[in-house]
């Protein structure tokens, strides 16, 4: 019987503040559901923190490095108590965008053309023909993303100074179109949301600042497009070995799409950008919004995630 839940939050990544918000929201929901909770602001002494808390279940609300890249999951595997979301392998693989794309492409999912390059080289010259994107290979929440537009004479020079991106970065063909996302619970896609950013693109500010973006749930897109995105999200969840709740992001370029367009025409206008194994967890976050649209409120979603927790993952 689950009585006490440890909620991992905060942590040491660039997404610490977002994680704290998720953790507080989950804590409030689980307390309202009758669980005893303890919030853990994760540090390098996580093992000691968990040992002191002695929980029945660990609810992972961490984002970014250490929280969703397999390292914390390794500690949780050793700790031996049921925990939420994906395990070590799936977390590490999904966080590594370049290698995840290799798996997705092999599974029949269209992904943007991309390659790993040295960060300093990406600042010195074009590593592919513009337009393209340069971003960290192993971070979330659009932290440190640079768009190199068509006609640009050279890439942004400050890429070289942005050490938080890592020594190797991912250069990826820019995917135009509408921003779509699909959450998957226990292998089943919920619905499709369209994200309309009120900034240049769907960056960190658009995701988390008040008024940074609008969400249309469900997205007002052709049924065939929604069907493809939901199918690909389910395939990605399975192919990467994910568990629990995930969210997959897509771009759909509807320019030149009309009533005469074939299924092949439509498929060729959709690309999957990435899969997130630790979606944001506030009532207004994308995945909880989708759960709400399918009849599951935030408290019920948090309870489901707890009940889905197992060891090992």
Question: What's the pLDDT at 200?
Answer: 62
Catalytic residue among 119, 178, 247, 251: 247
CATH code assigned at 145: 3.30.1490
The reply to whether 195 and 98 lie within a common domain is yes
Span 182-213, pLDDT tens digits: 999 999 999 999 999 876 654 445 455 556 68
Residue 291 lies inside a defined structural domain of this protein: no
User: Is the predicted pLDDT of residue 156 greater than 70, yes or no?
Assistant: yes
Does the annotation count 141 as an active-site position? Answer: yes
CATH number, position 214: 3.30.470.20
Choosing from 65, 172, 194, 249, the catalytic residue is 249
Cβ neighbours, 10 Å, residue 56 = 16
Q: Is 276 known to be catalytic?
A: yes
Per-residue pLDDT at 271: 98
Q: Do 98 and 191 belong together in one domain?
A: yes
- Tens digits of residue pLDDT in 216-229: 999 999 999 999 99
Same domain, 99 and 123: no
Note if 10 is an active site residue: no
> Is 288 part of any domain?
no
Does the residue 8 lie in any domain?
Answer: yes
pLDDT tens per residue across span 76-112: 999 999 999 999 999 999 999 999 999 999 999 999 9
Q: Domain for residue 292, yes or no?
A: no
pLDDT at 228: 97
Verify that 133 and 203 share a domain, yes or no: no
In this structure, the answer to whether residues 164 and 66 fall within a common structural domain is no
Q: Is 11 left (phi over 0), alpha (psi -120 to 50) or beta?
A: left
Give dist(CA 37, CA 7) in Å, integer: 7
249 an active-site residue?
yes
* Helix (H/G/I), strand (E/B), else coil: 128: coil
Q: 165 — phi, psi (to 5°)? A: -75, -20
CA 158/CA 295 separation, integer angstroms: 46
| Residue 150 shares a structural domain with residue 99 | no
Give the pLDDT score at 206: 46
In the predicted model, what is the mean pLDDT of the chain? 93
- So what's the pLDDT on residue 236? 98
Assess whether 208 carries a catalytic annotation: yes
CATH number for the domain that contains residue 77: 3.40.50.20
Q: Pick from 242, 250, 230: which is nearest to 189 by CA? A: 230
Give which of 124, 118, 135 is closest to 171, Cα–Cα. 135
Q: Do residue 100 and residue 224 come from a single domain?
A: yes
The residue segments making up the domain with residue 31 are 4-85+298-308
How many domains would you assign to the chain? Answer: 3
- Given the residues 274, 289, 303, 313, select the one marked as catalytic: 274
Statement to judge: residues 28 and 101 lie in one domain: no
Q: Are both 209 and 101 inside the same structural domain? A: yes
Catalytic-labelled residue, pool 19, 27, 276, 287: 276
Annotated catalytic residue 11: no
Label residue 141 by pLDDT band (50, 70, 90): low
pLDDT exceeds 70 at position 140: no
């Amino acid at each position: 019987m689950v009585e006490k839940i440890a909620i991992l939050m905060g942590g040491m990544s660039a997404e610490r503040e977002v994680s704290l918000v998720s953790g507080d929201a989950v804590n409030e929901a689980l307390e309202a559901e009758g669980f005893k909770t303890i919030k853990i602001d994760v540090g390098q002494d996580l093992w000691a923190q968990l040992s002191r808390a002695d929980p029945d279940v660990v609810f992972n609300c961490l984002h970014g490095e250490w929280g969703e890249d397999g390292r914390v999951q390794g500690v949780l595997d050793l700790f031996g108590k049921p925990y939420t979301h994906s395990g070590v392998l799936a977390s590490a693989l999904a966080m590594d965008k370049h290698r995840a794309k290799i798996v997705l492409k092999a599974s029949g999912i269209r992904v943007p053309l991309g390659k790993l390059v040295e960060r300093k080289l990406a600042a010195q010259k074009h590593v592919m023909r513009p337009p393209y994107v340069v971003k960290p290979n192993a971070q979330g929440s659009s932290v440190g993303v640079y768009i190199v537009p068509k006609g640009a004479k050279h890439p942004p020079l400050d890429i070289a100074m942005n050490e938080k991106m890592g020594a190797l970065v991912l250069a990826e063909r820019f995917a135009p179109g509408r921003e779509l996302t699909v959450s998957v619970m226990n292998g089943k896609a919920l619905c499709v949301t369209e994200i309309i950013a009120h900034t240049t693109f769907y960056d960190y500010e658009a995701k988390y600042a008040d008024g940074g973006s609008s969400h249309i749930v469900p997205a007002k897109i052709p049924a065939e497009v929604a069907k493809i995105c939901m199918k690909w999200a389910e395939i990605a969840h399975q192919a990467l070995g994910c568990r629990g709740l995930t969210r997959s992001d897509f771009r759909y370029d509807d320019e030149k799409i009309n009533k005469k367009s074939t299924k092949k025409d439509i498929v060729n206008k959709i690309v999957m950008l990435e899969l997130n194994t630790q979606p944001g967890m506030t009532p207004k976050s994308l995945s909880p919004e989708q759960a709400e649209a399918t009849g599951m409120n935030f408290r019920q979603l948090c309870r489901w995630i707890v009940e889905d927790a197992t060891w090992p993952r």
